Structure 1
Amino acid sequence: MTTAVSTRPAISAIGLRKSYGDTVVLDGIDLTIAEGTVFALLGPNGAGKTTTVNILSTLIDADAGDIRVAGHDLVREPDSVRAAIGVTGQFSAVDNLLTGEENLILMADLHHLGRGEGRRRTTELLEQFDLTEARTRPAGSYSGGMRRRLDLAMTLVGSPRVIFLDEPTTGLDPRSRRTLWQIIRDLVDDGITILLTTQYLEEADRLADRIALLDHGKLVAEGTPAELKRLVPGGHVVLQFADVDSFETAASVLGDATHDADALTLQLPSDGSVQSLQTLLARLSAESIYRAALSVHTPDLDDVFLALTGSPNHQKETLQ
């Protein structure tokens, strides 16, 4: 996750709406995505994630909404928006019959870069994505991770400032997934804005500066990963004691704890903050209880997802 971010929006959408007949897909959602950040859009299947991305990337029209992407009005300046963005869909755009190098040169031709500039950009991207040695091989012979890297490299040929990544690591093994995560972090460090949709909640947790949770066409929560996790109760601390005497002494001091005498453990509700842990440790220290191991358990994004989606009556919670 990035540590220093811009406050200027790369994407701004106010009152975004889309329906198909009587079916409301997007019900007036608002999004503000800062430049040089990763913004993850999460939600169950059918929540409206793909529709949102398709609208913001000019693939389909919204029914209503004031939308700006990379500083351009989506309705009045669609060509300027298209020139500023890149889209990497869930299904690869790579031509299996062409080599990796030929795929990139084709994209350079489509962007009208010119022969010299196109080859320079191709060489640069092959090096950046560690594909130089495989450049003359047909893309159909690439591994899943290599194909995904080539697909993203093709998206970058036109030097976009905003990139839409739809399920970028689906089907990849853990090593290839982590490689792609590092590539995404490097892109953001260079000032590129990423709008990410993913079903892998760990991926959103690791990459996203902010996350919006979409359900039944509405945004039901928005915030940093840490802020969203605090919306869900269930955080606790487990103390594991080395002997019965320490366990019994602590149990008498920490009367609000859940006891497990067989395992010599105590469980206490906690938000996992430094302040709450310091308070707990001070209580133990005051009783000279030192022979204990401590582990902190906090809700993860899976818990947030399950708690906040599935009901059409959820109210949006925005955390600043």
Structure 2
Amino acid sequence: MRTFDYQRASSPAQAVSQATGDGQRFYLAGGTTLLDLVKLDVMQADQLVDINRLDLLKIEPLSDGRLRIGALVSNTELAQHPLVRDRYPVLAEAILQGASTALRNKATTGGNLMQRVRCNYFRDGLSACNKREPGSGCAAIDGLNRSVHAVLGTSDQCIATHPSDMCVAVAAIGAQVTVQGAKGSRDIGFADFHLLPGQTPWREHALESGELITHLTLDAPLPGSRSAYLKLRDRTSYQFALASSAVVLVLEGQRIKEARIALGGVATKPWRAVEAERALVGQQASLDLYQRVAQLAMKEAKAYSHNAFKIPLGQQVITRNLRDLTAKELA
């Protein structure tokens, strides 16, 4: 067993101070990912800083229409909050499809943003994995790469998918992540928070050493919007997505005025399909349009030996979500 130091912080500034220094230092909130990986000896902590006493438990509407969420708000509380259910139903749906009730009760908003990949080669502690041991290689590229491996945003260093359902919905909504570090507080656009693997797959987030997530602030909802989250998986409970989509639409009659599409299960980060969104705007709702847009969203996809099916599945999860959201207009 590896030994580590444990400290409990009473303020964000104290937490940052305790997490700044030599060795591997991690923040402990719900622990639903961190403790698993510590037990597997994948994350080898020298120090854990418990942040559960910090005042980061509020969900607050802002005067400009945005919604500010404390990093320690549980997934259960977030999904059930009246403002989330009313203004961001796609987020509530995504969270409720993301895990068991027990996990949602413990998992936090900030922790969800920090989830690590479920790639078996990353988690086994033995196989070549550039995330775990930079420069060792990626066993998944020529290995079993069916379910938790990506076809979008991959590199020759890593092909693991980002696991979060919540983050796919947040990508479609738009948000800012507020973090606090030794140099003070700063905001990171959600689209820039998760990093593509590129040649540095061990860098998963745009956080500097010791920085602590304090809040997630959702963009104001689009007036008159409708939204939905659709998740396709091997089984319907407690399973990571093979492909998922979060879609937000604003219609004027039968024409699409504004669209946002994000994908999960097929990419190395929560994937915003910006080109596909643009192709929808100004067009009349139709199944043919949706199929063409879905193909556009997946046009840069690269299949590996066992996951080529994710390309048509990614197209299907977009087409079906758009179809269901506009069933009245298509009738």
Q: Under TM normalisation by the shorter chain, which class is it?
A: under 0.3
TM-score (norm 1): 0.23
Structure that is richer in helix per residue: 1
TM-score (norm 2): 0.23
Q: Which structure would you say has the larger RCO, counting Cα contacts within 8 Å and 6 or more residues apart?
A: 1
Structure that is richer in strand per residue: 1
